[in-house]
A and B are shown apart, each in its own frame.
Chain A
Amino acid sequence: MRTSKDLYTLIILCCSSLCAFSQSDSSRTLKGVEVKAVHLETLTSRAAMPVTVINRKTLDMMGSRRLDEVMREQTGIAIVNDISAGSRAIGMQLQGFSADYILILIDGQPMIGRNAGNFDLSRITVSDIERIEIVKGASSSLFGSEALGGVVNIITRQHIDAAQGQAIVRYGSQNTQDFTLEGETPFAAKSRTGKIVAADNATIADYNGTLNLSGNFYHTDGYNVNSFLSKGATAPPYDSYSLQGRLRYKLNAKNSLNIAGRWALRNSINESVYSSSQVINTTRDVLHESDVNGAMVWQANLNKGWQLKTQYYLTRYSTTQDVSTGKSTQLNTNDFTQYYHRFEEQVQYVVSNQLSFAGGVGGNLEVMDGNDLKSEYAYLQGDWKVNKQFSTRLGFRYDHADFYGGRLNPSAGLKYSLSKKILLTAAVGTGYKTPDFQKRYQVFTNPQAGYTVLGVEEVATQLAAMQAAGLISEVRPVAKDISAALKPEMAVSYNVGVSYAPVQNIRIDVNGFYNQLHNFINTVQIATRTNFQPVYSYINLDRSFTGGIEAGVSTHVLKGLDMSFGYQLLYAKDRGIMDSIRAGAYPYNKIRNNNTGETRASKVSDYIGLENRSRHMLNLRVFYEYAPWGISATFRANYKSRSGYDDANNNRFLDTYDTFIDAYCLVYASIEKKLCKGHLAVQITADNLMNYTDMLMPGQPGRILMAGLKWRLFKQ
């Protein structure tokens, strides 16, 4: 059988490959030709707004191990700790939008499992990522309108045309270990040799099927930036295991099948010891989480430009987290299991080179600890190249949730080439996010601070029960307004850009963006407990906005040398706070100078903006590759201006007398040398080379030096 023979070939290659094995071949990177039958679920083909793409080569050269490491180096992105949700709550912020509003996709399907809205990207290894796409703003409506702030799409390895394997071993600071084993092969050749000769005399693969398998193990001891800890880490230590597989098979000329699966497991034990003046306290934080994703796609190419895609996706996320003190007192537990099923039917119709349509209908079923939430959706997108200069994209998505009814979200994008050098773009889109389970059903009392949070559906019964038990001293008038009719949050995003290429190989991009968030769900105090502590629930209150400018310059002036520069200017503010300051409402009406103790009336101009957002972000990257020597190197620097950490003068808004995270700059470098005709590579990477740390950024590790060995096995 052909299949097994190819697998044998792969296994033999894996076992017996030596440097001497290789023969001369000029290509040093993995060649790839897409199995034509399968259309990729890419953002590039689905978003009205500009898409940032990070490709495999960039990832390889950077030498990053986990997804959070890659993302924190991107313009306009920050990885921030959510202090109020515990030391493990860390999420990605995009254009000033917090992690709640950023959708993380794997091959176009949503990933789940969040900690108070935060998706910890360090769950994901970059080892089998082929490319990462980032769309900012509420525009990628076809992938899910709940992505008010943006979408990150992780595309796993797709291009397979020859049997090859790869083993990567990395070791470095903080006992960091990263092992990857990857193998892939095409199978079931159409012709006897498995190759056909294309028109330009190059041989390309022609197989009916491809298979890719990869496994990764990662360990870190974590990193501590808190000098008050004598033991333990502020970026927790963990072990992570992941396995990933993908099978594609062309059933016949028109039908193909694609099956993909991913399984990941993470265990982490973080024992923190606080010691000061003979007082010793131990906190033990244990986390187990697992993650399963499975997708099955059947694609049928019908006649005359019609294509039909039927897909089923299932993901399960389960976590148990326990925080206890040395006296075995439990401080916090966070255990849940979440299932998400999606079934979707998609139709694509290519009318002509100028006009194409894509549409689909689907249903989601989300099950979490006995509660289930059904939703349905439909979308339609049209792409029209009006002429050589002008193209447009128009999309609609309709979402319907069991409880919240339906909503239509449009998005539109325009591109106009003013000249060969100047391209103008404009996009607008809306997004919509229904309140999650927590906001509807949770009943939670924080054991540390003592406040209680009630989901809107629980308010009436729980408050009555607490009152009956004599736990409530005061119920506020606003409690009557809390109803199950919590409205979904809604965002409108605008983006206008110009791309200018003054000379060949130099490009300047400038984009202005503005995102407005309506019906923002905020906590509100509805009652006071007899112990003086507040009882909170949720209400649609303030309107926030984020707006600014993103600019980039990329140059490719010398062969092998790529240099780029990125900048983001960001204003992120809460209009509710601005209104309160204007109206002179307590406690927003005053501003206390903490250096002198003096208090004066506040002005709107005293308000700096939302916490944890830097006004200026800058990055600089130099990537260099000298092919004759097989040497490549990168140098990257990331600057973020100061950002607010927390209120320090009790007026509930960020002003100049509050606590700030200082401006900082992180430097990264890497160097790689390929040996043995590309079969072997040695890489040294330095993350945070200058070892900059700040206690107020618990999740940002100091200097991590790593040495890695990559062994690639491929037929010449």
Chain B
Amino acid sequence: MVRQIKQKPMNWIERLYIFEAFRGLWTTLKHALRGLLRYETLPTVPYPEIKPEISRTYRAKHRLMLRPDGTPRCVACGMCATACPAQCIFLEAAPSEDGRIEKRVLRFDIDHLVCVFCGLCVEACPVDALRMDTCDTSYVFRKREDFVTPMYQLMSWDPKDYPQDDLQSQMAPGGTKNKQALDAWGLKVN
């Protein structure tokens, strides 16, 4: 549908320009005085020293969820690597010692130079082992190889940095201490 926007013709005061110019000057003066007298209320932040607020739902650097015994929750199904449009996830699987799970993950690398942060890997994961809620948006390295984040880095996160009222974001069920995690999740099994 075409929407026509009618421009209001200027009246003669506006066409004189000089009064409108003074109105503009008054507007900019207000902004300048705000910067001078209320410097701390400026909307910009001095970036590297003060970080902006980033929402938990923002798709930032990945992390691998952990079970209470410290092993990754990943079952090495490879669905994330399949879903990845940039093909930046590399994983290797090995037979699991846990009888309930078929495979465990040996190697899980994400190349963050290639990653497009689309979040499809998180959506694809059948066991919610991969999340992108670290709020870590700036990571700078000297070499290209350093951007390939290995599994131990994806696993090295601190539960204290995540919302305390959401226990599912802090530990995953499974492993040798499964009961503890299920208690925390509120899933009692007999």
Do A and B actually bind?
Answer: no
Chain A residues engaging chain B, CB cutoff 8 angstroms? none
Chain B residues engaging chain A, CB cutoff 8 angstroms? none
